[in-house]
Amino acid sequence: CGFWPGTLWYLYEATQDTVWLHAAENVTRILLPEAYRKARSHDSGFIMMPSVGNAYRLTGDTMYAQALHHAADSLAELYNPKVGTILSWPGMVKKMNWPHNTIIDNMMNLELLLSMSKAYADDSLQNIACTHANTTIQHHFRDDYSTYHLVDYDPETGAVRGKQTVQGFSDDSSWSRGQAWGLYGYTCMYRLTGDARYLEQARGIAGFLINHRNMPADGIPYWDFDAPALASTPRDASAAAIMASALVELSGFVPAAEGERYMAFAEKQIRTLASPEYTAPAGENGGFILRHSTGAYPFSSEVDVPLTYVDYYYLEALTRIKRRLQP
């Protein structure tokens, strides 16, 4: 629910039209009570940062900062210091016998902790975010910078009980949106901490993605890099939009030639997404901008559909490109 107001905030930032400002404020304020409730999953970062986070960034209103701080404290309650990560899905603890499960998506929620750590000089929030990121590097990633979707930990010892997928092709495959979450998450971690380990991780993931043998020529990944690379295999526009947004930001943290390669690949992805193949005519596609995303293929859920977060990260990528191109 955070992505729709986030989309409105990016429309306001791009146009400075107060129509979008008022719309963004109205929807964001509907969500504010969520910041004061107990975190029900790691998704509180996804809810808060696109909506309330962008509201605070663009208006400076301390009401939004206070809400974000409460949300960060609530998210931190899911952290297990014995494991060193935030619990992703409390509902799966008993249902799937995953007593402390952590998914790669969780990297996207660390920005909430780090931003509030800086705003309120709360070192505990930064320590949680960094320990989670470090533990994820240690246990989620393979030598080639591909990632498992979910790692199941023993909550008492921190030992790894298993590594598997939920939304990917197989336990050992590389689910494309998960790879994009990792790229984006570690790029963000470097921006907010300056820790070279996170930059190196982001660069490694970027290389894995850009150079993958199954990356289609147009830059829009199949829903999983290990799924059959066939014309009928669903693509995932959301993975491309997330990846493009991350690459634009990452390009500013590396040597010029490397940054140009990242920008060129992001531009290819954005131009493909902006083409009639992926951009729906106005008034169609349920009102969404982009087509051809894949939510959870193994469950036949959200296959070849529009998704609210693909529009959000697409507009974020465009906004970041605009910033980079402005003198």
Active site residues: 43, 105
10 Å Cβ neighbour count for 264?
13
C-alpha 91/C-alpha 166 separation (Å) is: 14
Closest CA to 6 of 294, 238, 237, 309: 309
**153 beta partners:** 100, 160
Alpha helices for the chain (secondary structure H): 3-15, 18-31, 44-48, 54-59, 62-76, 92-95, 110-120, 123-140, 176-193, 196-210, 237-251, 256-273, 308-325
C-alpha 85/C-alpha 83 separation (Å) is: 6
Work out whether strand 85-86 and strand 100-103 pair parallel, antiparallel, or are unpaired: unpaired
Q: What is residue 286's three-state secondary structure?
A: helix
CB 262 within 8 A of CB 206: yes
The pairs formed by 301-306 with CB atoms below 8 angstroms and a separation of 24 or more are 303/234, 304/234, 306/280
Enter the DSSP assignment of 49: I
C-alpha 173/C-alpha 224 separation (Å) is: 7
